[in-house]
Structure 1
Amino acid sequence: MVGGKKESKHDCCFEPFISPNPVTSFNPVQHYPKIDKTSFISQFSSVIGDVIIRNNVYVAPNVSIRADEGTPFYIGTNTNLQDGVILHGLLNRRVSFGDKSYSIYLGNEVTIAHKALVHGPCFIGDKTFVGFDAIVYNAIVGKGSFISNNAVITNGVRIAPNRFVPPGAHIDSQEKADALSKVPRDSKEFAYEVQRVNQEFPASYHILFGKNRCSCGFACD
């Protein structure tokens, strides 16, 4: 009961903050995020500016996706961003993919684990796992790589596909990046299982919270 009024099961569910970027001298045009309807953005998370979120993406609580400086961001199908993840980018610094350039590009089936920081300019290829508290900044990470907990990838390095970054490693030179070994089997299996679990969340959370939400931020019946 709140103030003598019986709460519905949805009364404490808040909307995420989804907004265009503010108008600034360096970003004078507002862009609103483009989020596929099959994806789910959890409560207390924010998505700001020129951000494309493709099919079945799961964004957990307390995630910040802030394309108000570096822009645009791209988040591919079946990618998951876990609790406390931060995405931000430097002004006018981009990576190229095809005929387009991005501040941050995350491919399909990427996992960004709890409290990791991905800061543009940055490219992370399909099926890559970025571990807890890891930092990826100014780097290109090849498909299927595994970045372990507390690792740092920076200084414009390029990591080849299917490479393993050990826990706590600092990969800040191309020499270090080229010396990385391939992803061991147990890490591949772990990344696969994390993907399997997180790919179920968007549809399940849509069912749990329903589609009707008020502009005040509360879900309602």
Structure 2
Amino acid sequence: MQLENPQKQRPKISKKAWISETAIIIGNVHIGDNVFVAHNAIIRADEPCSSIVISDGCNVQDNVIIHALSHSQVLIGPETSLAHGCIVHGPCKIGTRCFVGFGSVVFDCIIGDDTLVMHNATVRKIIVPDGKVIPDGMAINRQAAVEDLGDVTPDLTEFKGSVVRANIDLVQGYQALEMEV
């Protein structure tokens, strides 16, 4: 379902994206090529002067919530995965080739490229440099805590890539099914 917001803005979605019929996308939202938006995802840029940009090759999995507060923006870089049930709340910028794990909450922060926010983590009011890993369940809301974060390992880099590839395959598969109908 795609809806206009109170400011009369409608989502702009690439014809090369695949959006589930049960996803709800409201307002000033831009979705790029090869983006997969799964079932029951909610993407809301409905408050005044809010916007959301989901770049090419991203995946927004089941039950993800993305919301931008008034006068804020959510930017999600290319080839980023938002896993089942996570919440991304603006203001927020997530870099290229990132992963935000199951049930994680990301709010009022900047996350650098190639970073993983693992499952059930909370990231708030900090800047995370490129290539870091926020472990499962960690709550991080002090900039000083960033110094203790580990670096992305080759196996985690492969994991992130495999999630993106699987979801681009889903985009292509679902689009092929729609063409058959």
TM-score normalised per structure 2: 0.95
Question: Relative contact order (C-alpha < 8 Å, sep 6+): which is higher?
Answer: 1
The CA RMSD measured in Å over matched residues stands at: 1.3
Residues of 1 paired with 2:54 and 2:22: CA distance?
A: 19
Question: Do structure 1's residue 178 and structure 2's residue 144 form an aligned pair?
Answer: no
The structure in which a higher percent of residues are strand is 2
Equivalenced residues, count: 180
Question: Do structure 1's residue 90 and structure 2's residue 69 form an aligned pair?
Answer: yes
- Give aligned-pair identity as a percent: 35
In the alignment, structure 1 segments of 5+ residues that lack a partner are 1-16, 24-28, 95-102, 212-220
1:19 maps to 3
State the 1:163 CA deviation.
0.3
SS in 2 for 1:186: helix
SS in 1 for 2:10: coil
2:122 maps to 152
1:65 maps to 43
1:8 maps to none
Runs of 4+ aligned structure 1 residues displaced above 2 Å come to none
SS in 1 for 2:15: coil
1:74 aligned partner, one-letter code: V
| CA shift digits 1:101-154 (9 cap, x unpaired) | xx1000100000000000000000000000000100011000000110000000
SS in 2 for 1:109: coil
2:160 maps to 191
Counterparts of 1:65-214 in structure 2 under 5 Å? Answer: 65-69=43-47, 71-92=50-71, 94=72, 103-154=73-124, 156-210=125-179
State the 1:59 CA deviation.
0.3
Q: Which has the larger radius of gyration?
A: 1
Residues of 1 paired with 2:27 and 2:147: CA distance?
A: 35
In the alignment, structure 2 segments of 5+ residues that lack a partner are none
State the 1:203 CA deviation.
1.9
Residues of 1 paired with 2:23 and 2:86: CA distance?
A: 15
| CA shift digits 1:18-38 (9 cap, x unpaired) | 1111x2xxxxx3111110000
The structure in which a higher percent of residues are helix is 2
* Alignment check: 8 A CA contact 1:160 1:178 kept: no
